[in-house]
Structure 1
Amino acid sequence: MQLFHGRKMTYFSIALLFIVAGLTVLITVGSINWNTTDDDETFTMIEGEYSVNGGEWKPTLDEVMVHEDFQKLTIRGRLTNVPKGDNVLGLTANDAWFTLKSDGKVIESNYRADDSVFKNTPGYTINYVSAEDIGDGQHIELELIDPYPLLSSKCLTEFFDMYVGTRATLYEMLFRYKSPTILFCILICFFGLFSFPIAGIVLGKINYRYLAFSVFCFFGGVFILAQSLFSYMPLWITEPVQCMAATTVTTHFCMLSALIYVKVCLEKRTNKIIGNIIIAAAALLTATALILHYTGVSDLYAGKPFMLIFVAVCAIILTFCLISEVNTKRETILTLTSMIPVMLCLMLDAFNEFFYFTSVPLFEIGMALTLLNQIVILIIDLRKQYLESIRYQQMQKELYEAKVSLMVSQIQPHFLYNSLTSIAMMCTKDPKKARNATINFADYLRGNMNSLKQKAPVPFTQELEHLKKYLMLEEMRFGDMLNIEYDITTTDFVIPQLSVQPLVENAVKHGVGMKEDGGTVTIATREEDDCYKVIITDDGVGFDTTKPVRDDGRSHVGMENVRQRLKELCDAQVIIESELGKGTVATIRIPKTENG
């Protein structure tokens, strides 16, 4: 069903443009530095020396220390920025244990002395130390322990960070540094929740490719948001382990939705089976990770890199499946080009978990490129649909004009005069027969007029009843010279209204009607494996099919209209076979695919 045409499509495109422009403005405004506090007055570090895994002590050089791989890191010295007055020292710790000492005395730590299943999982925490506890220029010692020895350590600042300010400073930093990312994620989620489903409506049908990409967009936006705000999560979720779990679960669902999107685009049966197996395995892996987490066997963060590796392998398999279908369907090529950036970045991110080689947000970049690619595809599809809607309207107009022309051709003055004259002659000879003929003639005219309102094909039984009324009038005119036979073996199909009559009319007028002793017209139907056939046969004079149509004495205006309507509405074709002196066979071949 076509819901959007012409002006409505234009309105939708303009609205989409304004929404994207508005969100772009928001992103620009959000990126402005509204916090006038200088970085050196906000962030702080310990200036002195550090030791990795109990080794030798080295000077605390930022560019070296923050990239050290460690299981235990000890830093001692003095703070470069000391909290004073009402200010506090803020400590953000992510998936690492920390202990902060001042002059040898423990003043803050995120170790928990409980017996819960999560006692060995640090999670995400935000701690505050008052200026009184720190003192001015006292000796500070920080000990960090990474409880995940199998994973590669990333930047120190991703595990732990310190800042000086009030308890509201973290919100200020959130707005200052994360506004562009937040608004970018809102944009992605917006397209996931609204634009792509609306595109499915505009395209006139449920498009599972767009629907699956909508889900992927939404979870992708949530994933990027969670990965960007993980240090701020304890502001809203006070339980450290639940902060970590909420962030990591978004990874699982994002990866799963990406695999589902690729699987939906597969067409070949073998590839679909492979896709179903991969989706089932990924879902099972996610469920297993959750069970192991909440039973305390292995938390979600410990299993996240292995989940990424598994998904990366699955992505490679599904990509090869897509490549094997490149020649099958246009959507497959578009899906392949759309998913290459995000799949490639996903695989790089997975390896980055084990072999840390960059701090660049690879998946975010891949997601942005994929989204941009998909928006371009969406615009192309909408433009194509717009052009098709114009063509559809033009086709409907032409079909309507063809039906009017066909109806007029069937009610030509000589046919009306001949029918009415025959009825008038019967009024004195056989009034009862004349009455029936008058009713039949009225029904025939009503059927022709009603055909103008009928756009879709009608059951063949309906077309056959109308045809019988026409033939009754012709039998009344030709008398014994016209013999009509029916060989109907199937009626379980549809056909455009008034599409058989022109063929029968040619058989009557130009076939049997031109023969001195008349003849027989046979109307038959047949069902074959791939099609239905309507066959009109006459044993009349026939004609030479090699001659130009304008020279054979037949009427072809109605025939051309019939051919056009049969092709447009049923993808059917008309085949004419004739031989001089032997008769003509006209066959309408209707594919079964167009008849359900």
Structure 2
Amino acid sequence: MIKKEGASMPDSSTEAKSKQTILLSRLSVILPVVAGVMLFALLAFLFVNVNFEIWQSRTDDSLVVVEEDSCREVENADAPIGVIREYTFTINEGLKMDTYLSFYTVHQYAEVYIDGQLVYSMKPSGELFTRTIGGNWSMIPLYREDAGKEIRVNIIPVYESFRDREVQFLVGSRLSVFLDRLHQDWPQLLLSVMAIFVGIVFCCMAVYKMIYERSDGGLAAFGLFSVMAGLWRLTDTRFTPFFAPEKPVLMFYISVAMLMIGMVPLIKSMEARFHKISRCMLDVYCIAAAVICIVQLLFQIIGGVDLRENFYIVHLVIGFGAVLFVGNVIYDRVKYPKNQKGNVSSKFALILVAGVVADVAAFYVRGTSSGLLFSLLAMLIYIILTGVKMMFNYIRQEKQLAEQERILAEKERQLTENRISTMISQIRPHFIYNTLGSIEQLCELQPEAAAKLVHNFSCYLRGNFSELDNHTPIRLSKEIEHTRYYVSIEQIRFPDIEIRFDLQSGDFLLPALSVQPLVENAIKHGLMKLPEGGTVTISSCETDAHYCVSVEDNGAGFATSILLDERKHIGLRNIRGRVEAMCGGTLTVESTPGVGTKVEISIPKGVKG
């Protein structure tokens, strides 16, 4: 970046704030990644380890709900919270082949006795760093001879919050239980799979865009959030254990892991749409959420407190993130209303935030999050709205691209017209006749001078005609060479004029036929109005930011106000237009009557050979 003269240097406090902002942004990505790696390591450990055991003494039909059962709470010092919930009932009829007693438990152990004999138990196996075995189905085969026998089921809650959790007992075939849960959970299963699929597609698109278009990671963050939300809801159904009956702990911790840092990728996906202050606040939240996640994991690993016991902390983090997100949307809308024009992405994101919060709130109302669809429906609505917005944006961008192409074509046409106009204006019949007359005179008196003049004149004409096919800038040295041909011709006719060259820099580009016409104007409109003689100086130099070339004469001069009517100064207008369009430069004119005229072309250093 080129520093402009007179620009004030940024003070140390501004630089410090900038560094702090960059550090916050980096930490808001690094710490969640660390938390994610730790969660992944936990899930990998749970995947390769069997965390509970099922024992039953029996080997291997319409689904019936056991309605008449008695339940009492029995104190037991060996139980995790010191109590056991004891259910007692009998099954008198309907027992046949492929009939099972089925029930679903979550964060509870189970024992089943028939006529006082233990026939089934589900409990942790070995040394575990977690007490829970997650949620799973217990299925115990029933024989015909079990009709009328007393069945006692001991449900042992792991956490105090599950002390009063009721258990429903079903009698029927395994297929009946499977189909019954599929019928109840299919909307959640379907939406979860859709969310995971969409997230994977978004992540793939983000990787492609980052590789080939150098875009930010907002799309990748949203894709990750979509996958995490889908996994959260997919592993939180009562149907899921049918797919992994030996990994209930893993399924539970996948659900918890996705929930613990799920807000971070959602916020990072929207962060770029906020103002600087809001972005800093959201970065701080992401850092805090990651730190809380890491601390909870450490307590879990060392056997201090189970993640499930601190579930309210996870929900508080989500709730605080939702409040912060909404607050920043409102703040940016009030503080920077102009920046919010057409920015509906953050408003759409409020739907997602509301869906997640609704699922968390409903969990405390219902006591379970299974079957809750608020977050998944919110994501579906968000994707549809975002897709519609992207479609309209695409149509608008196509129109803008077509308009830009039209404008570029128009500029190209104007440049071509300017080149032709400049070339034609330089080949005036009087100039050609006068030059040919000079050649005729020299042929008789000075044949060698005539030959040189013919050479210079042919080079001058070649330079003018070549401009018709020249669409790119040329080096100053080449333009000066063309100018010298022109000057040599004029000095034959007007030997009393003086042409000086003061070229301190020639390593830059400018449009062809930009300097020579200025020299011609200086001679024709400046020096020719003097009684005799006069000087034209062509000079070039460079500054920190620009290359400059100027044509200055000590001729008659004029009042610059006459330049306001560009219809009478087509040559200057064409040169200025080509300098601006082809090089991003400027052309300035300074003139004083009786003193002289100076025309300067300034080219930014970005255009360099």
- Report the TM-score when normalising by structure 2: 0.69
Is the counterpart of residue 184 in structure 1 residue 191 in structure 2?
yes
CA contact 2:188–2:373 (8 Å) conserved in 1: no
Q: CA deviation at 1:251?
A: 2.1
- Alpha-carbon distance in 1 for matches of 2:345, 2:64: 47
- Alpha-carbon distance in 1 for matches of 2:132, 2:604: 66
Is the counterpart of residue 373 in structure 1 residue 385 in structure 2?
yes
- Alpha-carbon distance in 1 for matches of 2:215, 2:480: 42
- 1:301 maps to which residue? 308
Matches within 5 A, 1:303-318: 303-318=310-325
CA contact 1:43–1:162 (8 Å) conserved in 2: no
Q: CA deviation at 1:337?
A: 0.9
- 2:581 maps to which residue? 565
CA-to-partner distance for each residue in 1:471-516, whole Å, 9 max, x for gaps?
223322332646354465796xx87x52x744x3553343442121
- 1:538 maps to which residue? 552
- 1:255 maps to which residue? 263
- 2:565 maps to which residue? 549
Is the counterpart of residue 212 in structure 1 residue 212 in structure 2?
no
**What is the one-letter code of the residue matched to 1:92?**
Y
**What is the one-letter code of the residue matched to 2:581?**
R
Match 2:353 to one of 343, 349, 354: 343
Is the counterpart of residue 90 in structure 1 residue 102 in structure 2?
yes
CA-to-partner distance for each residue in 1:501-553, whole Å, 9 max, x for gaps?
44x3553343442121554254545546xx64646453453354356525635
- 2:58 maps to which residue? none
- 1:520 maps to which residue? 536
Matches within 5 A, 1:62-461: 73-77=85-89, 84-112=96-124, 114-118=125-129, 120-132=131-143, 135-136=146-147, 138-149=149-160, 151=161, 156=166, 162-169=169-176, 172-173=179-180, 176-194=183-201, 198=205, 201=209, 206-228=215-237, 231-236=239-244, 238-268=246-276, 270-326=277-333, 327=336, 329-330=339-340, 333-353=343-363, 360-412=372-424, 414-415=426-427, 425=439, 428-429=448-449, 448=467, 451-452=470-471, 454=472
CA contact 1:50–1:73 (8 Å) conserved in 2: no
Secondary structure of the 2:561 match is coil
Larger deviation, residues 196-205 vs 557-566: 196-205
Q: CA deviation at 1:154?
A: 9.9
CA contact 2:92–2:147 (8 Å) conserved in 1: no
Cα separation, partners in 2 of 1:192 and 1:405, compared to 1, 3 Å: farther
CA contact 1:93–1:125 (8 Å) conserved in 2: yes
Secondary structure of the 1:399 match is helix
- Alpha-carbon distance in 1 for matches of 2:323, 2:182: 38
Secondary structure of the 1:344 match is helix
Matches within 5 A, 1:489-508: 498=511, 501-502=513-514, 504=515, 507-508=518-519
- Alpha-carbon distance in 2 for matches of 1:346, 1:276: 20
Q: CA deviation at 1:429?
A: 1.6
Percent identity between the aligned chains? 13
Secondary structure of the 1:227 match is coil
**What is the one-letter code of the residue matched to 2:565?**
V
Q: CA deviation at 1:195?
A: 5.2
- Alpha-carbon distance in 1 for matches of 2:327, 2:603: 39
- Alpha-carbon distance in 1 for matches of 2:100, 2:248: 21
Cα separation, partners in 2 of 1:592 and 1:249, compared to 1, 3 Å: farther
CA-to-partner distance for each residue in 1:135-172, whole Å, 9 max, x for gaps?
335544444343233x588985xxx5554554445554
Cα separation, partners in 2 of 1:549 and 1:296, compared to 1, 3 Å: same
- Alpha-carbon distance in 1 for matches of 2:92, 2:455: 112
Secondary structure of the 2:317 match is helix
CA-to-partner distance for each residue in 1:159-205, whole Å, 9 max, x for gaps?
x5554554445554565444444443343334333357648859966
- Alpha-carbon distance in 1 for matches of 2:164, 2:349: 27
**What is the one-letter code of the residue matched to 2:258?**
T
Secondary structure of the 1:411 match is helix
CA contact 1:192–1:213 (8 Å) conserved in 2: yes
- Alpha-carbon distance in 1 for matches of 2:465, 2:421: 12
RMSD: 4.6
Secondary structure of the 2:147 match is coil
**What is the one-letter code of the residue matched to 2:233?**
I
Secondary structure of the 2:236 match is helix
Secondary structure of the 1:212 match is helix
- Report the TM-score when normalising by structure 1: 0.70
- Alpha-carbon distance in 2 for matches of 1:445, 1:314: 69
Gaps of 5+ in 2: 1-60, 76-81
Q: CA deviation at 1:584?
A: 4.9
Gaps of 5+ in 1: 1-40, 56-69
Q: CA deviation at 1:130?
A: 0.9
Q: CA deviation at 1:592?
A: 8.3
Q: CA deviation at 1:467?
A: 2.5
- Alpha-carbon distance in 2 for matches of 1:80, 1:484: 121
Q: What count of residue pairs does the alignment treat as equivalent? A: 516
Secondary structure of the 1:297 match is coil
CA contact 2:540–2:550 (8 Å) conserved in 1: yes
- Alpha-carbon distance in 1 for matches of 2:606, 2:368: 55
Q: CA deviation at 1:436?
A: 7.5
In our comparison, the structure showing a higher alpha carbon Rg is: 2
Q: CA deviation at 1:573?
A: 5.6
Cα separation, partners in 2 of 1:100 and 1:253, compared to 1, 3 Å: same
